[in-house]
Structure 1
Amino acid sequence: MADALTAPEFPMPRAARCPFDPPPALKELQEQAPLTKVRLWDGSEPWLVTRYAEQRALLGDPRVSADTDTPGYPTKASPGAGDGKLSFIMMDDPEHARLRRMVTAPFAVKRVEALRPAVQRIVDGLVDDLLAGPRPADLVEEFALPLPSLVICELLGVPYDDHALFQSRTKTMVHRDATPEQRGQASREIAGYLAGVVGERIAAPKDDLLSVIAGQVSAGEIDHREATEMALLLLIAGHETTANMIALGTAALLEHPDQLALLRESDDPKRVAAAVEELLRYLHITHLGRRRAVTEDIEIGGRTIRAGEGVILANEIANRDPAVFTDPDRLDLTRDARRHVAFGFGVHQCLGQPLARMELQVVYGTLYRRIPTLRLARPLDEVRFKEDAFIYGVHELPVTW
């Protein structure tokens, strides 16, 4: 058990040549105990939660706060990271619930399913372009980034002609080594653009999500600033995360040809959906932990978390908990992995998860059947993984066929 003198540093490095697995130190801590103290870059020592049961319990506990202003909230992930709140995901109820309800309807399962044909057309068009272009191709630039940009821009009502602005600015915003000035400038540029579009929708509503948000401004339920913050959250959450999961999932499948064959040779929607859940469990793009602060003493896992202490919930290692998933370090697309916590748990679980699931189902159910000979164009150990970013993935993924 780590103590104040020996608390290991967090985040921890991944093992060389094991880019799809959590850091070995996380596995060791999980085997020792469900909670242990870790040391962050500034010397603070929050609790790290590594086991599935304790993570679910804490994520569902109202005494655990997502508000960055709560005393004890774990410090920003690095000296260069920003401290600002990203709309309602860094708030507690009732304000969190009030704002979240305003944008829940467009992400309901039935509404998302109605978008599936449009997403299928987008995926097919991008595959057509990929096949018609040069080889090798960068799957990130040519496919993984454009797809969620097209989808979320269509959902929000943001012209796709402006997608380059969003891709470049969000890349800066989530890069761990970006300076506060660079990150702030990128955020201001996107926010300024979105504020203008919200203003246009207040004056002339359309059938899109930004008009829904603008309608809340017109009704006096939120102000223009809150509307802009909400739009920024939805844009980033729907763009950078899904893009990284597409590319990272493809890299993992290409390294597991037996599992890729199961997906490539089946057009069964249930099998494709199960594969998506297993890939979400096996891989994890939010690799710096979900951060919270405790407002009252909590007894859990044989420890007492005191009011005013911070907790970091490392979801990637909870998804490898052998108490929940048999042989958890094995990628098995036939596994029932629906209990994973890739989207979190409790009131703060990811609002956009129905959309993310649907996009990944279309991608994983289409790309490898359309390009059955898809393969890496360079060895995996030459691929640059995003150890330096808040959202894990690959910087580029050269592929050929």
Structure 2
Amino acid sequence: MTTVGTRTLTGPPPEPEPEQAPVTDPGAAPAPVPEVRDWPPAELDGTDFDPLLAALMREGPLTRIRLPHGEGWAWLATRHADVRLITNDPRFSRQEVTRRQVTRMAPHFAPRPGSLAWADQPEHNRLRGPVAGAFTVGAMKRLRPRAQAVLDELVAGVLADGPRADLVARVLEPFPSAVVSEVMGVPAGDRELVHAWTRQIISTAGGSEAAATAKAGLYGWVTATVRARAHSADDDVYALLGRAVLRGEITEEEAVGLAGPLQIGGEAVTHNCGQMFYLMLTRPELMDRVRARPGERGPVLDELLRWIPHRSSVGLARIAREDVEIAGRRIAAGEPVYVSYLAANRDPAVFPDPDRIEPGRDPNPHLAFGNGPHHCTGAVLARLQLELLVDTLLERMPALRLAVPAEQVRWRHQTMIRGPRTLPVTW
């Protein structure tokens, strides 16, 4: 595992030292301001890199974009160094975005108090404290046997039914959903309903009304669950949050805002793993490498995490609190900025021959789990699930292969996280 995939999340991390923007010649003529480029959601099949993002990367390290929803335009940073700078620099605020209708991908925008995604330091550390213990390396070691048992049961069912099977429907979707629900403390009888809400929330199908309805359902359920778990002695997330509210460490509203995004996290694992298995199943040399050298799977998984185009467009914006110069351009106070982790992971200055999957790439400072204070809270959990899926499926199904030509695999459209909709396999 890399540092990104295994950082222990117990207690607040040390405050990062802001990286310094490059110094430019004050006498040089200012570069022309780039035109605003519309970036509609691309309905891409397969694992091809978004051609519009590739074009923006060629145009320069800092461009301007307009997304399908919200208002105005935003800067887009694509270089690895600039992405790391912006995501680590307190001059760029997530909290400020909640007061604006910034141009965005999501049709429905209603940030909730308590959400880690929209908190700046030191508030971010205060909010994360109550749930940090549920996502440590130690907690994941304790979870591993239970997660393995869940996966073994799913795979046994597939084997008992015999080929062929849809790997997404039978394993890649129910497994992360079950594991996240286990960590969160979702009762078995509520898991399918909660999963339906989270699936709709990451979809762009149905527009803002469908997203708003799903969010209302999920957050209403979360509110009731946090209240009900306040006196529980368990160590699941809802019990931790319930007790934190009871002690007065966070408000109930903040607890609900914390829980929602954590609950949704299983959707990303499903889609990311779907892309990884698709790549292994369509590239024999990659599958042979993973099968033949199980002790060296860690670096291969890191390379796949770097390479897969795991999302459509970009994630969440930041607002410049003051004028900042990056890549020779002045980002004025109040202007929104997006970073592209996908682009940063293809930066040729950091990753030689970046469009090539190089299983032994070393070093591999990918940003698949984000960077800075907003590094993915569930990164260790995601990595655990990925390792279990690869190890278990290749061991139990050594002849695993696609049951259809690669071009017949159907892909998810109208979603913020890319991945195969189905993955028909045989063995």
- Assess same fold via TM > 0.5: yes
Matches within 5 A, 1:198-213: 198-213=226-241
Of the structure 1 ranges 294-303 and 157-166, higher mean CA displacement relative to structure 2 is found in 157-166
Deviation at 1:250, TM superposition (A): 0.6
Match of 1:112 in 2: 140
Match of 1:177 in 2: 205
Specify whether residues 340 and 197 from structure 1 end up closer, same or farther in structure 2 by C-alpha distance, changes over 3 A only.
Answer: same
1:282-318 Cα deviation digits (max 9, x unpaired): 1132332132221111111111111111111111121
Match of 2:365 in 1: 339
For the residue of structure 2 that corresponds to 1:296, the secondary structure is coil
| Residue 150 (str. 1) matches residue 175 (str. 2) | no
Distance 1:2 1:8 in 2: 15
For the residue of structure 2 that corresponds to 1:331, the secondary structure is coil
1:254-289 Cα deviation digits (max 9, x unpaired): 121111111122331xx1221221111011323321
Deviation at 1:11, TM superposition (A): 4.5
1:158-194 Cα deviation digits (max 9, x unpaired): 1233221122211111111223222222222222222
Deviation at 1:353, TM superposition (A): 0.5
Deviation at 1:70, TM superposition (A): 5.6
Matches within 5 A, 1:346-361: 346-361=372-387
Specify whether residues 13 and 339 from structure 1 end up closer, same or farther in structure 2 by C-alpha distance, changes over 3 A only.
Answer: same
Deviation at 1:71, TM superposition (A): 6.4
For the residue of structure 1 that corresponds to 2:337, the secondary structure is strand
Deviation at 1:12, TM superposition (A): 6.0
Deviation at 1:204, TM superposition (A): 3.5
Q: In structure 1, which of residues 249, 270, 273 is the aligned counterpart of residue 276 of structure 2?
A: 249
Match of 2:6 in 1: none
Match of 1:275 in 2: 300
Distance 2:337 2:101 in 1: 8
Partners of 1:21 and 1:329 within 8 A in 2: no
Match of 2:27 in 1: none
For the residue of structure 2 that corresponds to 1:8, the secondary structure is strand
Partners of 2:64 and 2:74 within 8 A in 1: yes
Of the structure 1 ranges 83-92 and 245-254, higher mean CA displacement relative to structure 2 is found in 83-92
Matches within 5 A, 1:294-313: 294-313=320-339
Deviation at 1:63, TM superposition (A): 0.6
For the residue of structure 1 that corresponds to 2:53, the secondary structure is helix
Q: Give RMSD over aligned pairs.
A: 2.2
Of the structure 1 ranges 134-143 and 211-220, higher mean CA displacement relative to structure 2 is found in 134-143
Letter in 2 for 1:183: A
Distance 1:337 1:385 in 2: 31
TM-score by length of 2: 0.86
For the residue of structure 2 that corresponds to 1:69, the secondary structure is helix
Deviation at 1:3, TM superposition (A): 4.9
TM-score by length of 1: 0.91
Letter in 2 for 1:205: A
Structure 1's consecutive aligned runs of 4 or more residues displaced over 6 angstroms after TM superposition are none
Deviation at 1:134, TM superposition (A): 4.7
For the residue of structure 2 that corresponds to 1:299, the secondary structure is strand
Distance 1:48 1:69 in 2: 15
Q: In structure 1, which of residues 357, 372, 380 is the aligned counterpart of residue 406 of structure 2?
A: 380
Specify whether residues 21 and 51 from structure 1 end up closer, same or farther in structure 2 by C-alpha distance, changes over 3 A only.
Answer: farther
Distance 1:293 1:321 in 2: 24
For the residue of structure 1 that corresponds to 2:90, the secondary structure is coil
Distance 2:66 2:183 in 1: 41
Letter in 1 for 2:39: F
Matches within 5 A, 1:29-68: 29-41=56-68, 44-67=72-95
Distance 2:32 2:340 in 1: 17
Partners of 1:280 and 1:342 within 8 A in 2: yes
Specify whether residues 337 and 215 from structure 1 end up closer, same or farther in structure 2 by C-alpha distance, changes over 3 A only.
Answer: farther
Distance 2:90 2:163 in 1: 52
Q: In structure 2, which of residues 8, 12, 36 is the aligned counterpart of residue 7 of structure 1?
A: 36
Distance 2:355 2:37 in 1: 23
Partners of 1:263 and 1:365 within 8 A in 2: no
| Residue 74 (str. 1) matches residue 99 (str. 2) | no
Q: In structure 1, which of residues 309, 313, 319 is the aligned counterpart of residue 345 of structure 2?
A: 319
1:346-370 Cα deviation digits (max 9, x unpaired): 1111111111111111111221232
Match of 1:287 in 2: 312
Letter in 2 for 1:217: V
| Residue 102 (str. 1) matches residue 130 (str. 2) | yes
Partners of 1:116 and 1:358 within 8 A in 2: yes
Deviation at 1:21, TM superposition (A): 3.1
Distance 2:173 2:264 in 1: 12
Match of 2:165 in 1: 137
Specify whether residues 369 and 336 from structure 1 end up closer, same or farther in structure 2 by C-alpha distance, changes over 3 A only.
Answer: farther
Distance 2:325 2:98 in 1: 19
| Residue 397 (str. 1) matches residue 423 (str. 2) | yes
Deviation at 1:225, TM superposition (A): 2.5
Deviation at 1:113, TM superposition (A): 2.3
Q: What percent of counterpart residues are identical?
A: 35
| Alignment length (residue pairs) | 394
1:25-61 Cα deviation digits (max 9, x unpaired): 3223323321111233356221111111111111111
Structure 2, unaligned runs of 5 or more: 1-30
Partners of 2:111 and 2:118 within 8 A in 1: no
Match of 1:84 in 2: 111
